[in-house]
Amino acid sequence: MEQDVLKQVMTTAQTWLDGNYDAETKAQVRAMMEADDKTELIESFYRTLEFGTGGLRGIMGPGCNRMNKYIVGQATQGFANYLLKSQKNNAFAKPVKQVSVVVGHDCRNNSRLFAETVANIFSANGIKVFLFEGLRPTPEISFAIRHLGCQAGVNITASHNPREYNGYKAYWEDGAQVLTPHDNGIIEEVNKTTVDDIKSEANKDLIQIVGGEIDYDYMEAVRSLRIDEEVIKHQKDLNIVYTPLHGAGRVIIPLCLRSWGFQNIHVVPEQMVIDGNFPTVVSPNPENAEAMTMGMNLGSKLNADLVIASDPDADRLAIVCRNSKGEWTIINGNQTCMMFSYYIITNMKKLGKLKPEDYLVKTIVTTELIRKIADRQGVTLTDEYTGFKWIANRIREWEGTHKYIGGGEESFGFLPYDAVRDKDSPASICLICEIAAWAKDHGMSLYEYLLNIYMEYGFQRETTINIVRPGKTGADEIKQMMSNYREHPITEIAGSKVVKTKDFQLLKQTENGVVSDIVMPAKSNVLQYFTADGLKVSVRPSGTEPKIKFYFEIPAEMKSIKDYDKATAEAEARVPAIRKSLGL
């Protein structure tokens, strides 16, 4: 079997030596072919990097299973073909004489090269390109697509992945990542495009460099979502430490904070340096405590109220504040989403800004406490699939009849307005600082603000378990796990009876033996279990990585804010029993 794979890989690699590739690329391929250890060669050529519903993401290097200018070129040519067909078929919201796109990128190695490659190919196909002059946050790319009236966009980014990775995100005219039917149409065009089909002679007349003017309009949109300007005036000296982790938020986020009225902003100087190698962190993922170390150290030195980070493409945020012992603690993604939702609802209501048509969104794996808050306050809340393209889909479907006021997911992403259709850390960071200002104005820390929400709505602890199974055998194993759960329904978890099961693959739910339909925009390979004592378990294979994810939402008793640590420990003590019930 291994010899068959190697033979196929050698044949594929030889096509790169014989094909229309540059000398440097051919030399790198030849070196891999001649090496005694063929591991790198196999990894680079055993398959073609798949253009999925969101675009591309992979390790950089030569080869068909790597991110390089040729794979980026094929993707762009296929995307261009689809856009031109859409123009001909009147598939856009409005007829257009000139198809136009926005192209942006983050701080990663080769991001500028790939972005210019994308711009050149689009222009060679007669498509107008608005190319950002330098790195910009992902949400600003989404904003620019709608703001400039473009039909699509491409952002070169691998978000918070390790330094070896880069990626290609495809957006549609509403500023959201592409959905059906456009995703399948683009994939079909990309799959039938070869390197010889790429039109690479740029039409410079069709490439317009943009920057500051879009920055200003984007920051004005961010500024417009302030809820309580008075508390910001009272707490303009809120002590804020911010780090962009070497990425795209480095300039615009401090500027946005100042435009809101915050004046005491400090940055981590070592991490303000644009560097795709991310030299100060092991991984540029703000979900990891290690990535926040330098920010917390500076926060301690300056006695800061809170420390905030954005990831390399500035769509996600992380918040660190002091707990009751004065120690820095990271607010997890569920807590972040819950605090945003609670503040938006309660403070808009107090100020008379909340309207009957206003609604919030969360993903199906995000804490159910947000639903409790929305239901008690009489605010509409919808559940969507994981990924902000589904939140954007809801905004698009309800545009004109309902008003979106916020939505997010447990993986450190939130969008507090509809001017953007993707996660937005500049806007979210400004809003969390307003929340911290409100709390301080009322004699609380941000941490105490969080605990008071638990006291009002009940405590639940969220835990995620990732089971990694790489390769084809791993994929088969994950598929079998999901089949086993469906063929042998789980009736009890950690000693509590399962009272409701949701199967989003079948779009059916069973509650106390009664089967009913689930209304969602599409099917998804997700299972959820709800028990009699309030436990919620979600099971979801990852769509981008070789793993299956288990989300536990575990209730525990919290009689006072002093019981938070005790309740947390009580909930976490149930994890082994939950895992056992699931066969993990």
Strand pairing class (240-243; 265-267): parallel
Q: For the sheet containing 152-156, what is the strand order?
A: 55-59, 165-172, 152-156, 100-105, 128-132, 207-210
Q: Is 159 a catalytic residue?
A: yes
Eight-class DSSP state of 366 = S
Q: Where are the alpha helices (DSSP H) in 261-398?
A: 293-302, 333-350, 369-377, 388-398
Whether 313 and 248 have beta carbons less than 8 Å apart is answered as yes
Does residue 135 come out as left (phi exceeding 0), alpha (psi in the -120 to 50 range) or beta?
Answer: beta
- SS3 letters across 244-268: CCCCCCCCHHHHHHHHHCCCCEEEC
Its sign, for the CA torsion 543, 244, 433, 228, is negative
Compute and round to an integer the Cα radius of gyration of the chain.
Answer: 24
d(CA 584, CA 582): 6
d(CA 415, CA 132): 22
d(CA 220, CA 291): 30
Return the closest-CA partner of residue 331 out of 564, 520, 559, 519.
Answer: 564
Whether 138 and 315 have beta carbons less than 8 Å apart is answered as yes
Its sign, for the CA torsion 330, 334, 338, 341, is positive
Burial of 356: CB neighbours in 10 Å, binned 0-12, 13-18, 19+: exposed
Beta-bridge partners for 502: 509, 528
Count CB atoms within 10 A of the CB of residue 463. 16
Q: Name the active-site residue from 111, 142, 159, 425.
A: 159
Whether 370 and 360 have beta carbons less than 8 Å apart is answered as yes
Q: Could you give the residue numbers annotated as active site?
A: 159
